[in-house]
Structure 1
């Protein structure tokens, strides 16, 4: 496949992230397809009355945007730099929030853990009565293992509470003891699970590869395929990581990642994730062009 004259932006945090694995691979696969993909750092950009600037240069509109930046207003404005956004800014803005995930998503093939959402002022005993004496606390938009805490006593909660802003909201979830230090990551592209792996931590209850977890390739089961289709139908996310916890009867839902890294999945499974993602971009833009010609 050779696509000519498709131009897009890869929106990341900084301009100089071209050597980070995920950015490098997306840029590499875009070039193979003849796609002009330019990396733009949101933190190196600003909005003025006449447009969006990056390092002092006014950014022109392009055909598409690949969104990999978590900010709020900057993210929304930079998504408008393309006629198509992968993932859509609306879906991205909803499902980056862990509370929105657990309250909106469902599948017959996984269980949603019991949860609460509120500030640290709920208090340990109130949470423990609903979720058990041991529970997990998550920042609503945390990633890569940041802002995730395992609380096992009132004293631990009191120490944690002292470090938090009183009006900041968190997701509180029951602790799934069958999945301590292990979980499953699926990589889903337009509803198709193209890769699956088991993540094993080195003693931490968190299993993020960024924190040093090791990985093993998993077979893509019918159960995984159904979960991928279910969550794609509900979210519309063209690319997402789906994290599942091990359970006795069926998996527990952990979270959806709207901007998943691809290094662990590619190295573990051998799947060309970046190539598949860029093919989706190319096919989508080609279909839009054909539709315009028909009209």
Structure 2
């Protein structure tokens, strides 16, 4: 029996790059007898009517939703209306906020860089307390990393070398959620991306940059297929499970002993770059996992 699905994407990201990605998923779904329909988040209107959840326009419910957006409120609404979503609204929310993500990983006792969360301050406060920045400085030393809680593609991540830079970035971000993090010198411009689907690592690549502390391909890093050892595989799976992901891209750093340490977990990791590096089509694994979950058993 043919199944139907929606692919939810952000209406503000309807660029050629993302349209090609959506078409890729549609094509893969078709090979598995799934009719997948891309729908922008701003084409669906969430509302509460007479105390009940409602969605306009009133379309026929799909068998499942592949949710490639970060519109958490819409995701929650769809789940409340009984539609199975992959990944879940909770998982997307956890991964979208780096502070929440690190707390979730810590709850599972998983290795991460030393991380300090900036306090939330209201608008009348214009500068961070010097005692807090003293603590950051003493705990992390220089250089150190500052990350905004919300950001993608390595953006909103800053390498800080001294107190002047620290004061400036902390003041700039004072009203935005952000964190301060230990700089892993041994992993400068280098990390490993492992795609985890249904509790299995299905594809892995190493990313290396010769000119940037970040190893994002968007920033010019080179990528190549790699065979991670058991420690990297086990940590990637544990990290994905800790955030409740059906599928994820887990970024691991290399500590001074070449052991893995978690950088972050991506609930909507792109599949094109991993395909370019490995010739592995992760979308096949994602849909097969979804089909297995819909049938009530794991992949």
TM range (shorter): 0.7 to 0.9
Ranges in structure 2 where 5+ consecutive residues have no aligned partner: 120-126
The structural deviation recorded for 1:263 is 0.8
Match of 2:242 among 223, 231, 234: 234
Please name the residue that 1:68 is paired with. 68
Give the conservation status (yes or no) of the 8 Å contact 2:3–2:33. yes
Q: Where in structure 2 are the equivalents of 1:143-162 lying within 5 Å?
A: 143-162=152-171
Residue 257 of structure 1 corresponds to: 266
> 1 CA distance for matches of 2:210 and 2:75?
35
**Is 2:128 the counterpart of 1:121?**
yes
SS of equivalent residue, structure 1 residue 173? strand
**Alignment partners' CA distance in 1, 2:104 and 2:17:** 36
Whether the 8 Å contact between 1:191 and 1:231 is mirrored in structure 2 is no
Select 2:55's aligned residue among 52, 56, 70: 52
Q: Which runs of 5+ in 1 are unaligned?
A: 289-295
CA apart distance, 1:285: 2.1
1:48 deviates by 3.7
Offset at residue 215 of structure 1 (A) = 0.1
Taking the aligned partners of 1:80 and 1:187, their CA distance within structure 2 comes to 28
Question: Bigger relative contact order, structure 1 or 2, given CA contacts below 8 A and separation 6+?
Answer: 1
Give yes or no for contact 1:187–1:196 (8 Å, CA) kept in 2.
yes
Q: Distance in 2 between matches of 1:208 and 1:177?
A: 16
- Structure 1 Cα separation of the partners of residues 200 and 55 of structure 2: 35
Q: 1:17 to 1:66 in 2, by over 3 A?
A: farther
Q: How does 1:122-201 map to 2 (within 5 A)?
A: 122-123=129-130, 124-164=133-173, 166-201=174-209
3-state secondary structure, aligned to 1:188: strand
Q: How many residues align?
A: 281
Contact 1:244 1:253 in 2 (8 A): yes
- 3-state SS of 1:58 partner: coil
1:76-87 correspondence runs (5 A): 76-80=76-80, 83-87=83-87
1:256 deviates by 0.5
**Secondary structure, counterpart of 1:248 in structure 2:** coil
Given the superposition, is the C-alpha separation of residues 231 and 160 from structure 1 closer, same or farther in structure 2, using an over 3 Å criterion?
A: closer
- Which position in structure 1 is the counterpart of 2:32? 33
Q: TM-score, normalised by structure 2?
A: 0.84
Shift of 1:80: 4.5
Confirm or deny: 8 A CA contact 2:240 2:265 kept in the other structure: no
- Evaluate the alpha carbon distance shift between residue 78 and residue 201 of structure 1 in structure 2; reply closer, same or farther with a 3 A threshold: farther
Judge which range, 208-217 or 278-287, deviates more.
Answer: 278-287
